[in-house]
Structure 1
Amino acid sequence: MLRHRLAVVLVTALAPAVWGTTYLVTTELLPPHRPLLAAVLRCLPAGLLLIALTRRLPQGSWWWRALVLGALNIGAFQALLFIAAYRLPGGIAATVGAVQPLITAGLSAAVLGDRLTLRTVLSGIAGVAGVSLLVLRAGATLDALGVAAALGGAVVMAAGVVLSKRWASPAPLLATTGWQLTAGGLLLVPVTLLTEGAPPTHYTGANLLGYAYLCLIGAAFTYVLWFRGLRALTPTSVSFLALLSPVVATVIGWLALGQDLSPLQALGALIVLGSLVVAQTQRPRTTGPSAPGARSASAPPVRENA
């Protein structure tokens, strides 16, 4: 049982680890000043591909549930993420976003009945401290709207993770992932056109390679792993894994771009990894509808899919 859970954790951790490569791909391969276009081309084609592979469309309440989940996990999160990235130094945006596991733990306690333990809270605080040491730079300036966007991104992603656990879909994993990516991508299209204008008419080979990587690997592959992990683990456990992204991004910047890696950054990475280990080794304890064998009265029975 423990070996199986460890395998699920490690496979799920591949998703945020791959997301940590997004900065390198964006800066080295994609056109400049088009972050929302990158988000659309990352999510929408990936979602349509998964829907085409499964040939499953939502039924009944899953039309609006897929829209809500797609907005929270994909559309609203991506939009707020890029607003924060534009208005804040990367270190501040990442540090504010690192509060997501704590928010997820609180929402899980309120919505799912998961028990909020001191160990979880301390692990979350350690994760924020580790990320701040890893990415925060001296002299970074604050922007109220940027901080609000970064915090809003953490809140909507946490809400999406918790609701994804609450609403157990009877459809195959690939189908529900495709619905969310498609819904989120469609919601991003008008925002992208209003803020960035029409997309470029010419793309280089490097641009196409970057978009293909973000779509096939950075979205279709990783979100399937992410939501698969969420079916087997608690939302709080999954959210802690997201802290791997800034760790991977920093290491790649050091290895591939020749960026400096200070002793404080190395210490921050160790603290983040330590908080992840502590969070994953805690036995999930529940008091409400997410307890083993319990199910929400409004949730349909889950059919397992290979």
Structure 2
Amino acid sequence: MSNRLKSVLVTALAPAVWGSTYLVTTEFLPPDRPLLAAVVRALPAGLLLVALTRRLPQGEWWWRATLLGALNIGAFFALLFVGAYRLPGGVAATIGAAQPLLVGLLAVGLLGERLTARTAAAAVAGMAGVSLLVLRADAQLDAVGVAAAVGSAVVMALGVVLSKRWPSPAPLLASTGWQLTAGGLLLLPLALVVEGAPPSSLSAENVAGYAYLSLVGAALAYALWFRGIRELSPTSVSFLVLLSPLVATALGWLELDQQLTPLQALGALIVLASLVAAQTQNRSRRS
């Protein structure tokens, strides 16, 4: 197995883990507290990594880490929350699936990379596959929700590209901790204003769910994600995001007894084909 393939497979664990957050949120967390979940997911994980690495940003990396944390964590989660609440989940997921194409376009201007017709076609096919996987015919659109969903895809795409443009001089866990802490601190006042104070008591299931989101869904998953950005092209990494709705659908089918239609199965196959096409395209360009 080549080093590049190993990097792709390891990085793919991050969006696969993120695909499990829907199940964890609906089955283990208090209802109607998505921003609290976002804060608990990001801030404790960030502070833990900063404490373990004992390294703070230096010089320009104070504002760079803050900006990257806002794009990859804070603004992304906030816009995702608005989109998820104002749109059916399938619509939000389909819009989010535009991220590979957005990353490819941003990488042309910010990194000087070339967006090939094959990569663009794979990105469009990935969106189509996700729409078949999660979109429903009776889905209703909302202008604010659509704008928020588009915004969440744009800010994360920009965060991915800038993370590649600005390679951190610090160890991976330290720079991951900086971004999670910055994003969590930006989300904290928003969560308090929108949702109020946290619940006065939590069940053992709630605690377990929050611990999973923070330790696995944030500390581990984002470390793997940023490692992938360091080692792979941003376009290759961004295509792996398509695994999240795929894993979420599979878990819903396996654990929540949700039905899997033939169109959803077709969508899953299209998503997997677009992933393979994108990764082989990037491999051929490097060879």
Q: Give the TM-score normalised by structure 1.
A: 0.92
Q: 1:285 offset after TM fit, Å? A: 8.7
Aligned partners of 2:212 and 2:167: how far apart in 1?
29
What are the superposed Cα offsets for residues 120-146 of structure 1, whole Å, 9 maximum, x if unpaired?
100000000000000001111000000
Q: Aligned residue for 1:226?
A: 225
Q: How does 1:157-176 map to 2 (within 5 A)?
A: 157-176=156-175
Q: Which amino acid in 1 is paired with 2:113?
A: D
CA contact (8 A) 2:41 2:210 kept: yes
Q: Aligned residue for 1:179?
A: 178
Q: 1:284 offset after TM fit, Å? A: 6.2
Q: 1:168 offset after TM fit, Å? A: 1.1
Q: 3-state SS of the aligned residue for 1:198? A: coil
Q: How does 1:149-160 map to 2 (within 5 A)?
A: 149-160=148-159
Q: 3-state SS of the aligned residue for 1:255? A: helix
Q: Aligned residue for 1:296?
A: none
What are the superposed Cα offsets for residues 226-276 of structure 1, whole Å, 9 maximum, x if unpaired?
000100101111000000000000000000000000010000000001000
Aligned partners of 1:281 and 1:169: how far apart in 2?
27
CA contact (8 A) 2:96 2:153 kept: yes
Q: How does 1:170-249 map to 2 (within 5 A)?
A: 170-249=169-248
CA contact (8 A) 2:164 2:230 kept: yes
Does 2:107 correspond to 1:108? yes
Identity rate of aligned residues, in percent? 72
CA contact (8 A) 2:50 2:178 kept: yes
Q: Aligned residue for 1:304?
A: none
Q: Aligned residue for 1:121?
A: 120
Q: 1:282 offset after TM fit, Å? A: 1.2
The size of the alignment, in residue pairs, is: 286
**Structure 2: which 5+ runs fail to align?**
none
Q: Which has the higher helix share?
A: 2
CA contact (8 A) 1:11 1:225 kept: yes
Aligned partners of 1:132 and 1:285: how far apart in 2?
28
CA contact (8 A) 2:46 2:181 kept: yes
What are the superposed Cα offsets for residues 146-180 of structure 1, whole Å, 9 maximum, x if unpaired?
00000000000000000000001110000000000
CA contact (8 A) 1:234 1:284 kept: no
Does 2:250 correspond to 1:254? no
CA contact (8 A) 2:99 2:157 kept: yes
Q: How does 1:19-30 map to 2 (within 5 A)?
A: 19-30=18-29
CA contact (8 A) 1:44 1:184 kept: yes
CA contact (8 A) 1:17 1:245 kept: yes
Q: Aligned residue for 1:62?
A: 61
What are the superposed Cα offsets for residues 268-306 of structure 1, whole Å, 9 maximum, x if unpaired?
0000010000101113699xxxx9xxxxxxxxxxxxxxx
Q: Which amino acid in 2 is paired with 1:139?
A: D
What are the superposed Cα offsets for residues 47-80 of structure 1, whole Å, 9 maximum, x if unpaired?
0000011000000000000000000000000000
Q: Aligned residue for 2:266?
A: 267
CA contact (8 A) 2:236 2:282 kept: no
What are the superposed Cα offsets for residues 72-100 of structure 1, whole Å, 9 maximum, x if unpaired?
00000000001110000000000011101
CA contact (8 A) 1:237 1:279 kept: yes
Q: Aligned residue for 2:78?
A: 79
Q: Which amino acid in 1 is paired with 2:130?
A: V
CA contact (8 A) 1:39 1:78 kept: yes
Aligned partners of 2:101 and 2:64: how far apart in 1?
24
CA contact (8 A) 1:114 1:285 kept: no
Q: Which amino acid in 1 is paired with 2:265?
A: A
Q: How does 1:279-298 map to 2 (within 5 A)?
A: 279-283=278-282
Q: How large is the RMSD of aligned CA atoms in angstroms?
A: 1.2
